[in-house]
Amino acid sequence: MIGRLARVGLYAINALTVGLLLIPLVTSLAVSFTPSESVALPTSGLSLRWYREFFGDARWTLALANSLGVALLTMAISFPIGLLAALAIARRRPGGEGLVSALILLPLFVPAVVLGIGSLAVHRAVGLWGTPMSLAIAHALWAVPLVFVVMRAALLGVDPSLLEAAATQGAGPARILWHVTLPLVAPSVLVALLFAFIISANEFVMALFLATPSTRTLPVVIWPQIRYLLTPVVAAASSVIIVVTVMVLAAASRLSGIRGLLEARS
């Protein structure tokens, strides 16, 4: 019966882990609806007062607009770059592709503070500093590898004879890409775009280094508040981030099927 005992222990550990993953999220969502002045669970009814405060404050709405703008820019930069790299790798000769892939993935393994301070120096030198593009380029350092991984996996699954058929009919490379390859991997295109969007909308450390008063994203505005004055408006701001993320996720899973999302992820 030791086996059964071990199994029960395992389930208990996993239940705790799942709780650890979910409870902080759910709690901060719940607190955003509190009617009370201080950070507390809404025990005496629900209120939207902290959301009114959020959307009534130009500092928060500017930050929300910045977050969305930077995330869209990150998508626009990282998708073509990652896609082209994946097209190069997901092809014929296996020689050297391990090394190239490793190099493309490398930025994921460099701490955000290192990328932040380095990007700050470079972006200041070339005059990018202070623009939304500066943050988007930094976020693309992590988005490009993700787009690359997703698209590489997708392209390897494309039946090569379809591309050949198009080629023998006289289609050029751009037309094959647009009319054959991309439609075949449409769900993965969506997943790749989604990853780029989400990694940017949620990235905080690089944004902290690169943001200027006019380019502060939501996390950068939340940061000093969470550290010094904990008010429920922070919970409301957090919830706005969660809601935007969930909306993007839902749109993507609707269009591509949740299954494709998970397959691309693992």
- Segment 163 to 182, residues that bind another protein, using CB under 8 A: 163-164, 167-168, 173, 176
Q: Is the CB of residue 143 less than 8 Å from the CB of residue 206?
A: no
Q: Is 189 in the site for another protein (CB under 8 A)?
A: no
In angstroms, what is the minimal distance from the CB of 204 to another protein?
Answer: 6
Report the residue number, 20 or 58, with the smaller CB distance to another protein.
20
Joined tokens for residue 256: 């591509």
Q: Which of residues 78-107 bind another protein (CB under 8 A)?
A: 80-82, 84-85, 87-88, 90-94, 97-98, 100-101, 103-104, 106-107
Q: Is 250 in the site for another protein (CB under 8 A)?
A: no
What's the rounded Cα separation, in Å, for the pair 78 and 189? Answer: 12
In angstroms, what is the minimal distance from the CB of 207 to another protein?
Answer: 11
Q: Which residues of 188-206 are buried (b: 16+ CB within 10 A; e: fewer)?
A: bbbbbbbbbbbbbbbbebb
Window of 50-58, 68-76, 185-193, 256-264 that interacts with another protein by CB under 8 A = 256-264
In angstroms, what is the minimal distance from the CB of 17 to another protein?
Answer: 5
What residues contact 159, with CB distance under 8 A and at least 6 apart? Answer: none
Binding mask 6-25 for another protein (x = CB under 8 A): x---xx-xx--xx-xxxxxx
Among 8, 48, 52, 160, contact with another protein (rule: CB under 8 A): 160
In angstroms, what is the minimal distance from the CB of 49 to another protein?
Answer: 18
Report the residue number, 72 or 158, with the smaller CB distance to another protein.
158
Q: Which of residues 203-232 bind another protein (CB under 8 A)?
A: 204-205, 208-209, 218-219, 222-223, 226-227, 230
Report the residue number, 46 or 84, with the smaller CB distance to another protein.
84
Joined tokens for residue 23: 């409870």
Q: Which of residues 112-141 bind another protein (CB under 8 A)?
A: 112-122, 125, 137-138, 140-141
